[in-house]
Structure 1
């Protein structure tokens, strides 16, 4: 019996602007690793064909930037001032293991 691989990731909505809503949350990878599940949504890789995005929502077609969170917290692809939400269920692990704070 195998367990699906999960990881804390940075997820930014690029469907309306370069500085879209963003959050840190736990995603689940498909067996092939080409799609990601998060918050009831499925994201498929754009395989390098995206413009300022690397995944799209299979239901809505909206484009997203999804990547591993950075230790320095500078996750936004093009900077920006909009705050990044952190899902409560990963907040402690994120601050401790990724950002190196207690």
Structure 2
């Protein structure tokens, strides 16, 4: 996943996802600009409490798994190396 400099647009698996602030979407913080499909994108937390509901493990996409594991070991997130 890549984000624009403003973090208002995400690019994931060929989709362009726009931040859904002020749109009144229930249970979503991004939407696909082509299909209007809603998504919840969560930033990871090193204590693994990054699920939306309940104590279960988060779902991590296969193409993000290596980056997620590195983050859990202390590496910065891509694009967030400077904070």
Report the TM range for the smaller structure's normalisation: 0.5 to 0.7
Q: Residues 46, 69 of structure 1: CA spacing in aligned structure 2 closer, same or farther, 3 A cutoff? A: same
Q: Residues 83, 71 of structure 1: CA spacing in aligned structure 2 closer, same or farther, 3 A cutoff? A: closer
Root mean square deviation of aligned Cα: 2.6
Structure with the larger helix share: 2
Show structure 2 runs of 5+ residues with no match: 75-83
2-structure distance, mates of 1:73, 1:51: 24
Aligned structure 1 segments of 4 or more residues deviating by more than 3 angstroms: 80-83
1:75 deviates by: 2.1
How many residues get paired? Answer: 73
1:62 deviates by: 1.3
1-structure distance, mates of 2:58, 2:44: 14
Ranked by relative contact order (alpha carbons within 8 Å, sequence separation 6 or more), the top structure is 1
Show structure 1 runs of 5+ residues with no match: 1-26
Q: Is the 8 A contact 2:9 2:16 kept in 1?
A: yes
1:51 deviates by: 1.4
TM-score, normalization: structure 2? 0.65
TM-score, normalization: structure 1? 0.55
Name the structure 2 match of 1:92: 66
From 27, 38, 44, give the equivalent of 1:63: 38
Q: Residues 33, 92 of structure 1: CA spacing in aligned structure 2 closer, same or farther, 3 A cutoff? A: closer
